[in-house]
């Protein structure tokens, strides 16, 4: 029996993987499936990630309720988002973060599409 992680089948894990590491990996793999142009720089323990998102995307955390078990550092000028999942993170919290980020990328995509349509209508 193997584990499927990001389309890759691992027949055996190199060490025991904790729940918070699996949840962190799940958040990142869900983002990568929906936003193909995200670059991910994981660490050895799967609980820390640095994401670099495309130039045309903007993330906002103004409407995001802070989750104490997931810390993040967002640097819009470099388009980097660093995530750290604590050992007490729950699946619901991880899902909330995933949904927030996906909504931000989707809203940004819609704005760009509207802007493009407005420009073509003016011509």
Confidence of residue 117 (pLDDT cuts 50, 70, 90): confident
User: What is the rounded average pLDDT of the residues 12-39?
Assistant: 86
Q: What is the pLDDT of residue 55?
A: 84
pTM: 0.79
Distance CA 72, CA 118 (A): 35
Q: Residue 33 pLDDT > 50, yes or no? A: yes
CB neighbourhood size of 10 (10 A) = 12
Nearest to 51 by CA among 68, 33, 31: 31
Tell me the fold of 16-117.
Answer: 3.90.1150
């Amino acid at each position: 029996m193997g584990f499927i992680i990001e389309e890759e089948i691992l027949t055996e894990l190199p060490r025991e993987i904790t729940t918070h590491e699996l949840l962190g990996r799940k958040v990142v793999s869900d983002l990568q499936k929906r936003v193909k142009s995200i670059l991910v720089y994981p660490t050895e323990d799967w609980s820390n990630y640095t994401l670099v998102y495309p130039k045309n995307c903007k993330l906002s955390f103004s409407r995001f309720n802070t989750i104490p078990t997931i810390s993040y550092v967002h640097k819009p000028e470099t388009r980097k988002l660093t995530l750290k999942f604590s050992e007490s993170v729950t699946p619901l919290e991880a899902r909330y973060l995933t949904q927030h980020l996906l909504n931000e990328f989707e809203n940004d995509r819609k704005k760009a599409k509207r802007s493009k349509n407005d420009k073509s209508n003016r011509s």
